[in-house]
A and B are shown apart, each in its own frame.
Chain A
Amino acid sequence: MTSLKKLLLGEQGLVVLFAVAFFIVSLTVPNFLTERNMLGLLQSVVTIGIVACTMMFCLASRDFDLSVGSTVAFSGMVAVMASNATGSIPLGILAALACGSAVGLVNGLVIARFRINALITTLATMQIVRGLALISSDGRAVGINDPGFYQLALSRFLGVPTPIWVMLVAFIIFGFLLNRTVFGKNTLAIGGNPEASRLAGVNVVNMRVWIFMLQGLVCAVAGILLASRITSGQPNAATGLELSVISACVLGGVSLAGGRAAMSGVIVGVLIMGIAENVMNLLNIQAFYQYVVRGLILLLAVLLDNLRSSAAGRR
């Protein structure tokens, strides 16, 4: 009994729970453990998975970003419209990456330089950027002229679609960045105690600006892939993405109070969100119920986390 408790409340508790859930679902839900379904599942979490990488840095440094959904939609629009206008897909992609980074840069400067609360700032930019996406297309979806753009999402490497590879590469890069670089360590230090980090020589303002800029850049990557997959620039794409992404991070044990994060946890968080949806789809559960289930999973994860930290605190 106590060893079970130790396992569940330990560092890897969520991973263990995930493995158990995965095993049970594989046995009980028909068509779950098939190559086709697995790839579909991974495809469905690409946007959340990619954006969660940098959201993890944002939360770990005690910040917050609500503008990710809008940025994904906006940069998708920019990619499509710039490609159409210039006739060059690389130029379109470059423009989207630049726009995404610009949104992040603005967020970062306002929050870190002018010390405006991150929640309020990104709440504002979330609406501004969504507005920009709607204005630029007059509220309509924009079709893609060059069919080569579809290939971004449709192409495969070793039988696995490109977006999934992009997500995997993002996991590896940001996992490395968090654990093995000065940037990652300083991010965690800032989240743990910003003032102490500043006095210890960490340039906190620059770090925060960089984190937001990275977040914008990564949103643009996700936006380009999403536009390619839905074969158009949709100004209303990725609404509510910010909440799914933050949920996935929190599920993965990232502390909203900052200073605690792990890439493995975030990956598991993303997968749990994906599997829950996938299984409910396979079992033909109405979409309306899925919101309730997603909310319940998040609550349970936070409760587990609370139990874990109080168990650790009592030690």
Chain B
Amino acid sequence: MQDFLEFKTISKGYPGVQALADISFGVRKGAVHGLMGENGAGKSTLIRLLSGDQSADTGEIVIGGTVQHYRSVRDAFDAGVIVIHQELQLVPELSVAENLWLGRFPGKAGVIDRRKLLDVVRQKLVEIGIDVDPAAKVATLSLGARQMVEIAKAIMADARVIALDEPTSSLSSRESEILFALIDRLRAQGVVILYVSHRLDEIFRLCDSMTVLRDGKLAAHHPQMTDITRDQIISEMVGREISNIWGWRGREFGPERLKVERISGAKLGHPASFSVRQGQILGFFGLVGAGRSELMRLVYGADNRAQGSVLVDGTAVRADSPSHSIRSGIVLCPEDRKFDGIVQGRSIEENMTLSSRRHFSPFGITQPKKEAELAETFIAKLRVRTPSRKQDIINLSGGNQQKVILGRWLSEQGVKVLIIDEPTRGIDVGAKSEIYEILYDLAAQGMAIVVLSSELPEVMGITDHIMVMCQGRIVADFERDEFDERRILAAALPDITSVSELPSEQVQQQ
């Protein structure tokens, strides 16, 4: 059967990097095609070429037998190609229907035909099976619903090829299931879907065929998904065998390092208590919106506390602002690296020494040599892949950015407690195990580590003890020898009646 979407000998280079080299593969009509690879493997570049945002140096993209020569996103749109990025492109203050019509409102002489506006959209939404009120303002919808609207927008524009870039990264598992059902229906209608994801489960659940990229080259192309194993894909992605990506090993624990007693705040109504020992890695698991990050932001003093106390090595500390917490030895690597972690526009070096430089700046005067030394030390130690410490941090991949933020805290003095929120979100397999190794090393040196994650395998793989949160409360805890996927997940799931209420609750919280 003829492939509907074909990439033919595509190459694309940027100064200093060959982002894509000689990529050729095709996707059948009505197929969901997985695109996998580590960060920096070239997935984003390929998507960018497909979207018309940039053009290839050599090679061509063929859609429905026609060679495409588009030079802008508009041309790609006209050819029926729509890319849905992680950051959604909807106007929050307009209604769903208005968003779907944006740019070509129905009506005469500039006066919008409101009835047509709503009716056509309502019909279309029913047709593709999306349960969203067309008159609702986008700002009031959950993230999952917004994703649906984005897809509906693509369908309204008669898209024949839809590329989804990490669509489930901020969805709850229930929202993801709804998305998958929609993708199944689109497949039945003959739409080609290019599905970019780090999550193997999703690739196996959804895809009819898949391609693995590695270092800008085609590492593997699987026209069928039968007879492929997870381990095979992982080794294709990293180019080597990874027998056990967690690499957990037992450690001796010391006395209690961090103790949190009955802490609560505006976003966490129910008081929570827990403690971590020296050398221990404590995991916090819960669904999106379970309150893990909110709890840790209270511990760290990033949000105001209503009550409760924080003790480090048995002494109460004044953890009412991040700067006080850092001085007491508590540090936090935030969940959202882009908004809360990195300082865009500044160098790796400046990002690393942001907090620690006060220790070696007499009278507030910085010591460039010391800063450079420190940055070089941690770039080497954490194996940050960069041509120079002067590089703007925004140019690094997610994993390397995470390492720089770890470096920020490792270069601090007297860190006793490291809280790390979603340590490997958006990070490729190879860098993941490197980050786990760093955590094990720190724990072995006596640091108490708190890991927050919504990926159950990760929490089970790397922690010594798991606390489960659900709807703002700590509901269960498990020792490593009692880890059980089903039991942990069951504890994290709210009871059935409130599941249906969950999305609307989340909306109100936003």
Contacts and interface: CB of A to CB of B under 8 A. Distances in A.
Given A181-B361, A201-B355, A192 B323 contact: no
B342 A196 contact: yes
Interface stretch (A140-148, A183-191, A296-304): A183-191
Interface string B252-285: 0000000000000000000000000000000000
A186 B351 CA distance: 10
B332 interface: yes
A315 B15 contact: yes
B366 A197 contact: no
Contacts of B332: 199
Contacts of A197: 343, 354
Contact of A192 (B327, B343, B358, B365): B343
A158 interface: no
A195 B340 contact: yes
A259 B354 CA distance: 13
A195 B302 CA distance: 10
B346 interface: yes
Interface in A161-204: 180-183, 185-186, 188-189, 192-193, 195-203
B341 A201 contact: no
Contacts of A260: 345
A315 B345 contact: no
Contacts of B365: 180-182
Contact of A181 (B321, B322, B327, B366): B366
Interface residues of A, number: 23
Contacts of A188: 346, 350
Interface string B349-370: 0100011011001001110100
B339 A185 contact: no
A185 B366 contact: yes
B361 A182 contact: yes
Interface string B90-116: 000000000000000000000000000
B326 interface: yes
Contacts of B339: 193, 195-196
Contacts of B14: 315
Interface residues of B, number: 31
Contact of A202 (B323, B340, B346, B364): B323
B344 interface: yes
Contacts of B358: 182
B357 A203 contact: no
B334 interface: yes
B408 interface: yes
Nearest to A177: B364
Contacts of B364: 181-183
B322 A193 contact: no
Interface in A209-249: none
B350 A185 contact: yes
Contacts of B343: 189, 192-193, 196-197, 200, 259
Given A181-B366, A183-B364, A188-B350, A199 B344 contact: no
Contacts of A199: 300, 302, 322, 332, 334, 340-341
Nearest to A198: B322
Interface string B209-242: 0000000000000000000000000000000000
A195 B14 CA distance: 32
A194 to B, nearest CB: 9
B323 A203 contact: yes
Contacts of B323: 201-203
B109 to A, nearest CB: 36
Nearest to A190: B343
Contacts of B341: 196, 199
Contacts of A182: 357-358, 361, 364-366
Residue among A197, A199, A202, A260 with most chain B CB within 10 A: A199
B431 to A, nearest CB: 20
B357 A193 contact: no
Interface in B177-210: none
Nearest to A193: B343
Nearest to B371: A185
A255 B368 CA distance: 24
A192 B302 contact: no
Contacts of A201: 322-323, 325-327, 354-355
Interface in B290-349: 300, 302, 321-323, 325-327, 332, 334, 339-346
A180 B366 contact: yes
Contacts of B334: 196, 199
Given A198-B302, A199-B302, A193 B350 contact: no
A197 B355 CA distance: 9
A259 B322 contact: no
Contacts of A180: 365-366, 368
Contacts of A185: 350, 354, 357, 366
Residue among A182, A259, A315 with most chain B CB within 10 A: A182
A313 to B, nearest CB: 10
B241 to A, nearest CB: 35
A234 to B, nearest CB: 37
A198 B334 CA distance: 12
A259 B345 contact: yes
A298 to B, nearest CB: 22
A187 to B, nearest CB: 11
Interface of A: 180-183, 185-186, 188-189, 192-193, 195-203, 255, 259-260, 315
15 contacts: A182-B366, A185-B366, A186-B354, A189-B354, A193-B342, A193-B343, A193-B344, A196-B341, A198-B302, A199-B334, A200-B408, A201-B323, A201-B325, A201-B354, A202-B323
| Top 5 A-B pairs, shortest CB-CB distance | A192-B343, A201-B326, A201-B323, A259-B345, A193-B343
Interface of B: 14-15, 300, 302, 321-323, 325-327, 332, 334, 339-346, 350, 354-355, 357-358, 361, 364-366, 368, 408
Given A192-B344, A198-B322, A259-B346, 20 more contacts: A180-B366, A180-B368, A181-B366, A182-B361, A182-B364, A185-B354, A189-B350, A192-B343, A192-B345, A192-B346, A193-B342, A199-B340, A199-B341, A201-B323, A201-B354, A202-B323, A203-B321, A259-B343, A259-B344, A260-B345
